[in-house]
Amino acid sequence: MSIWFNKHLRLQDLTPMLEGTMSEHLGMEFIEMGDDFLKMKMPVDNRTKQPYGLLHGGASCTLSETVGSVAAHLVVDSNKFSCVGLEINANHIRSARQGYVTAIATPLHLGTNTHVWDVKISDDAEKLICISRLTIAVLRKAL
């Protein structure tokens, strides 16, 4: 059973959310959406590397926060609620120098006021690059 609020949502419906954002600047793309997960990819290139030629940890955190925040947004009625990052942590397991990294966000907790998302980032060889946990505040919009 799908966790998404809009049961008719398609992956291509998400792309406009990235226009004019840091996510677009870093080359992020949505690539898959399942009943209880969302996947994005990001290139490892001059925009996402640190000075030593490795994927920047901040770029990994940005990818994690993006995929997790969008996933949280898709779970709630966005006419009534906003989802914002409350806390993120990341364990950088190994580095990447080229290609793409792929992040998959799955929920650990979907509460009324908070969500906790697990985000795993892997390289093209499907080796784990980063494990992140993202806590989201679910805020009621003013009427």
Could you give the residue numbers annotated as active site? 65
| Helix count and strand count (H, E) for the chain | 2, 6
Task: Walk across the sheet containing 114-122 and list its strands.
Answer: 29-33, 38-43, 100-110, 114-122, 128-140, 81-92
Closest to 135 (Cα-Cα) out of 91, 97, 88: 88
CA pair distance 112, 35, nearest whole angstrom: 19
Q: Six-digit token pair at 80? A: 């009534």
